[in-house]
Amino acid sequence: MDKDVTYQEFIDKVHQLHTKMNGAWRLGQTYFNVLSNCRPAIAESIRSTIHDPFHKDSIAKELEKIVQSKW
C-alpha cells in the first residue's frame, strides 16, 4: 500500500503503468488498480457504482473530482 502519495503522484503512477502495459489494460482498469493499491477505501467506495472506471477507456471528470475530494 502506498498511502503517502499525493493525488498528483497517484495520477503519474496511473499514466506510467498504463504506458508500461501497452494497451493490455484499459485506462479505467489501470486507474482503479492503482487506486486500490494507494487508497483501497476510496477504491471500494466507487466499486460497482456509476463512477467505477474499471471497464472504461477514459476517466470521467466527475470521478476525478470524487477521488480528489476523498484523497
The pLDDT value recorded for residue 28 is 97
pLDDT at 39: 96
Confirm whether pTM is higher than 0.85.
yes
pLDDT at 1 over 80: no
DSSP labels, 4-62 = T--HHHHHHHHHHHHHHHTTSS-HHHHHHHHHHHH-HHHHHHHTTSTT--TT-SS--HH
pLDDT tens profile 7-31: 999 999 999 999 999 989 999 999 9
> Half-sphere exposure of 63 toward its Cβ, with a 13 Å CA cutoff?
20
How many domains does one find in the chain?
Answer: 1
Residue 1 within any structural domain of the chain: no
On average, the pLDDT of the chain sits at 95
In a domain, 54, yes or no: yes
**2 found inside a domain:** no
Average pLDDT of 32-39? 96
> Residue 60 domain-assigned?
yes
Domain assignment of residue 57, given as a range: 7-70
